[in-house]
Amino acid sequence: MKYNRWLLLLTALFMLTLTACGGGSSSAEPIPTLVLADIQNSEDTSSNAGGATVSASAAALPANSVSLSFPFTGSVVDIAVADGDTVAAGDVLVQLDTTILQAKVAEAEANIKTAETQVNYLRRITNTSAENIQAAEAEVARQQAILDAALENLNLATLTTPIGGTVASVSISLGETVTPGLIVVVIGDMSVMQLDTSDLSERDIPQVKVGQTVSAYFDALDQEMSGKVSYIATQASSLGGDVVYTVTITLDEEVPGLRWGMSAEVKINVEG
């Protein structure tokens, strides 16, 4: 590196000598100014100290949605909805076979009658002890609990929706046997949509606060909308080895044509 500097300096001196010797010229050309750059500091030292916004990718989803399942095993005998249907709270979605459940209800009802008959009989007998009567009454209560459970299961064999909205998916078919916890229908209220970020890094999350304004661009719709940060996840998740946090953004107004799962690029205004 020192050799290069000396070479540049000698070149400059040589050019100066040639200019001085050219006395026949009426006007001397200006001597070029040479700047000796320090090669050791040639890398760009500018750093991005952070801007007024933090960018992230996000996906649209309903602010209110439910994934519905049955609490027990059963065979599907009727499906009342299909993907894209509009439903109201309380509408029937799927029906399981209730043959066995109805039989259990009938059995429990018969057992209650038998237990009540026994209580009445013991009360009519003058020499019956109080302990025997109490035991018979306890049996009536036990059978009533069995009946209540049977009626509850019979009711749960009919799947209804707790919210109004649009059917996003139906994942079972007629005759299929469902198991406890298997998601059979997903419903979302598409009238109120939100965005959830997917790749907001832990390095950016300290700048994000609830209430900050957001601009969101939907590539599929070629449209930009505004919103606000409404929730910041307290627990992180992992994305390609990076630690990320989900941030929920509530849109300021309805976006025509926006569908569940559509992607958006968001910019969160973190200034101030």
Per-residue confidence band for 263, with pLDDT thresholds at 50, 70 and 90: very high
Please write the tens of the pLDDT for every residue from 65-106. Answer: 999 999 999 999 999 999 999 999 999 999 999 999 999 999
Enter the tokens of residue 179: 């198991």
Let me know if 42 is exposed, middle or buried by CB neighbors in 10 A (0-12, 13-18, 19+). exposed
Q: Do 36 and 5 form a contact (C-beta atoms < 8 A)? A: yes
Average pLDDT over residues 116-125: 92
Average pLDDT over residues 178-203: 95
Mean pLDDT, the chain, rounded, equals 86
Measure the CA–CA gap between 128 and 107, rounded to whole angstroms.
28
Please write the tens of the pLDDT for every residue from 8-62. Answer: 555 554 554 444 444 444 444 454 444 443 333 322 323 334 458 999 999 999 9
At residue 173, does pLDDT exceed 50?
yes
Average pLDDT over residues 205-231: 96
Please write the tens of the pLDDT for every residue from 135-146. Answer: 999 999 999 999
Q: What is the DSSP string of 172-227?
A: --TTPEE-TT-EEEEEE-TTSEEEEES--BTTTGGG--TT-EEEEEETTTTEEEEE
At residue 154, does pLDDT exceed 50?
yes
pTM of the predicted model as reported, rounded to 2 decimal places: 0.70
On the CB side of 73, CA atoms within 13 Å amount to 1
- Which pLDDT belongs to residue 11? 55
- Which pLDDT belongs to residue 125? 86
Reduced to 3 states (helix: H, G, I; strand: E, B; else coil), residue 90 is coil
- Which pLDDT belongs to residue 52? 86
